[in-house]
């Protein structure tokens, strides 16, 4: 349940960044050079990947509470995917937008697969 709230917070964060960061950006500006939204998608995607790596795997024994890092991964991954898709739809197809989509999409895809398998795997 808390993961659902984290995903909703991430979507709200992504929509807020799209609305505030997209003010004054024209299609001609987006085709010319990377916009601030593209850089935001890169930053959010990198934060999602970093939170996912720190919260799981080898680094999980080094942190006191890995759940907070994993929830941060859900928030930043959903925000990065929302911002990157919005940025690409506005015409900014430069490398920061694509890199942010990939960096945020990998943890987001993992969380979606985790949820689907948790729903399908029912204990008798």
Q: Which residues contact 29 (CB under 8 A, 6 or more apart)?
A: 35
Asked if residue 31 is part of any domain, the answer here is no
Q: What is the pLDDT of residues 71-88, one digit of tens each?
A: 999 999 999 999 999 999
Asked if residue 122 is part of any domain, the answer here is no
Res 110 pLDDT > 90: yes
Entry field: residues in the chain: 124
Asked if residue 23 is part of any domain, the answer here is no
Asked if residue 20 is part of any domain, the answer here is no
**Which of the given ranges, 10-14, 34-38, 88-92, has the highest pLDDT on average?**
10-14
**Number of structural domains found in the chain:** 1
The dihedral region occupied by 99, where left means phi > 0, alpha psi between -120 and 50, and beta the remainder, is: alpha
* Residue spans of alpha helices (H) in the chain: 2-21, 27-32, 36-55, 66-89, 95-120
Asked if residue 51 is part of any domain, the answer here is yes
Total-model pTM: 0.88
Asked if residue 19 is part of any domain, the answer here is no
Asked if residue 87 is part of any domain, the answer here is yes
Arithmetic mean of pLDDT over the chain: 88
**Domain range for residue 96?**
2-14+38-117
């Amino acid at each position: 349940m808390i993961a659902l709230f984290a995903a909703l917070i991430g979507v709200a964060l992504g929509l807020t960044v799209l609305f505030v960061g997209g003010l004054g950006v024209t299609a001609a500006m987006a085709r010319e050079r990377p916009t601030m939204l593209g850089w935001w998608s890169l930053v959010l995607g990198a934060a999602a990947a970093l939170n996912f790596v720190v919260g799981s795997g080898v680094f999980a024994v080094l942190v006191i509470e890995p759940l907070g890092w994993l929830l941060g991964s859900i928030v930043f991954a959903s925000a990065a995917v929302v911002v990157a898709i919005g940025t690409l739809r506005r015409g900014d197809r430069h490398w920061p937008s694509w890199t942010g989509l990939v960096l945020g999409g990998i943890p987001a895809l993992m969380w979606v697969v985790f949820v689907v398998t948790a729903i399908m795997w029912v204990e008798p």
